[in-house]
Amino acid sequence: MKSQNRKTSETKREKPWGGRFTQATDSLVERFTASVHYDWRLYRHDIRGSRAHARMLARRGIIGQDDLEAIIKGLDEIEHEIEQGVFRWRQDLEDVHMNIERALVEKVGEPGKRLHTARSRNDQVALDVRMYLRDEMGRIDRLLACLQGSFVAQAKARSDLLMPGYTHLQRAQPVLWAHHMLAYFEMFKRDRQRLKDLLKRVNLCPLGSAALAGTGFPIDRETVARELDFDGVTANSMDAVGDRDFIIEFLAASSLIMAHLSRLSEEMVLWSSSEFSFVDLPDSFCTGSSIMPQKKNPDVPELVRGKTGRVYGHLMGLLTTLKGLPLAYNRDLQEDKEALFDTIDTVAMSIEVMIGVVSGMKPRRDRLASAVKTGFLTATDLADYLVGRGVPFREAHRIVGQAVAMCVEQGRELTDLSLAELKELSPLIEQDVFDVLAPEGSVGSRNVPGGTAPHQVKTAISRAEDWLNDNGAL
C-alpha cells in the first residue's frame, strides 16, 4: 500500500534520454530497472571502449578533432574521479553507461553528446562485458596456475610418501602421495584449457552492431577491435547484441572449477578429521569453536564446498533467463551481470583460499604409513602374482578373496599370513610373494604411463612443471 502513497515529487524525474515520453519515470521503476549499483565495475572497460570508439569516429570524419580531444579529456577526468572515489553514481541514470555519458556531457558539453553516434547501449554493454570477462578470466587462470604449482610443490616435497588410494571411500590400493597430488593438477589443467578455449569466443568485438541492425555511418569495426585487443569482430549484429552464450560457457567452466575445488575440499575435511588424521591443515586457514576449546575446524574447505552450489545456481539461472528470449536484445539480459560478477568473485576467492590450504597442509607420515598396512591394499597384487604363475584371473580373484575372508575372521592382514598358510591357498605361492604384498612393491609395480610407480610419478612431476612453464596466463 505504501507504494500507492508515494509523493508525486518523487516521480518527477527527467528521463536520461529522448523526447518520446510525456511522463517522468516512476521512482519505483528507477529502482527496479537500475543496475548501476553493480555494473559500475565495468567503468574502466566502458571508458576504454568509448575512447576507441571516439578515435574511430574522428578518423572517419564523423566527429571533429576538437570533439575528440574534448571527449578524451572528459573521459580521463571521469576515470580519475571514479578511481579516487569522488564520482557520484546516480540511480536515476540506470547504469554505468548513462552515468558516464551524462557526466561527460556535463563536463564537455556538445562533444559529449556526439560520442554515442553509431553505437547503442546494446553493443556497448556487450563490448564492456566481453572485455571485463576477458580480464577476469586471465586473473582466474593465474590463480589456477598458482594452485597447480602448489600441488606440484606438495608432490616434489614428499615424492616417497605412500598413502591409501580409495574407491567408494574404501581403502583400495596404495599410491604415492605425489600421485594423488598430481591428480588435482590434471583436474585444474583441464579447467585452464577450458578457459583458453572459451577465450576464442569471448574475444570478438561486438561494437558496431548498434541496437541490432548495425549502423549507417561509415565506421571501421576492425580497427576498433584491434585497438581493444580483440581477435576479430562478431559476424552478425543481431546475434552480437543478444548473445550471452559466452557468459553461460564461463559459468559452466566455473561450475567445473568449483566441482574440482569441492572434491578437494571434501578430502581436506575427511583427511583432517580425527577418524583419518592424514593431514594437518594450516592453523591460519582453520577456525575454532565458540564453545569447544579443542576444536580445529576446516571451515575454509567447508565454505568452498558450500559455495559450489551458489555457482551452479547462477549457471541454471542464466540458462533459464535465455531460454525463451527472441532476437535481438531484451532487457532480461541485464540479469546476466549479477550472476557473472558473483561467480567471478566466488571462484577467484575460492581458488585463492585453497592455494593457502594446499600450500600449508602437512601430511602425517606416521598415520599414512600405518594406513597403507591395513585394509588389504595389496590384495590385487596377490591376485596378479597368481596370474603371473598361470592361474586364470577369475580363479586368482577367488583364491585371494578366500584369503581376505580368513584374515577378516581372524583379525589379521595378508602380510601376517605365513608362507605355509599362503601355500594352502595355492601351492604356486613362493617366498617372493612377500615383496608383492609390501605396499612399496605394489606401488613400484604400477610402472605404466599414468601409474603410481616412483619412476612414472617423477616423470609426471617434470611434465607438470614443463606444462606450467609453457602455459602462461590468458
Would you name the residues annotated as active-site residues? 168, 289
Do 327 and 241 form a contact (C-beta atoms < 8 A)?
no
Grid cell in block for residue 258:
568449483
Checking 386-392 for CB contacts under 8 A at 24+ apart, the result is 386/426, 386/428, 386/429, 389/428, 390/428, 391/426, 391/428
111 CB-near residues (< 8 Å, 6+ apart): 63, 66, 67, 68, 70, 71, 74
Closest CA to 133 of 22, 212, 250: 250
Residue 289 sits at φ, ψ, to 5 deg, of -105, 150
CA angle 171, 172, 176 (to 5 degrees): 95
Checking 36-41 for CB contacts under 8 A at 24+ apart, the result is 36/89, 36/90, 36/91, 36/93, 36/94, 36/95, 36/96, 36/99, 37/89, 37/91, 38/337, 38/338, 38/341, 39/95, 39/96, 39/337, 40/82, 40/89, 40/96, 40/99, 41/96, 41/132, 41/341
Grid cell in block for residue 42:
565495468
CA angle 285, 176, 467 (to 5 degrees): 75
Grid cell in block for residue 178:
605425489
Q: How far apart are CA 146 and CA 353, in angstroms?
A: 11
Instruction: Rounding to the nearest 10 degrees, give the CA dihedral for residues 140, 141, 144, 150.
Output: -120
169 three-state secondary structure: coil
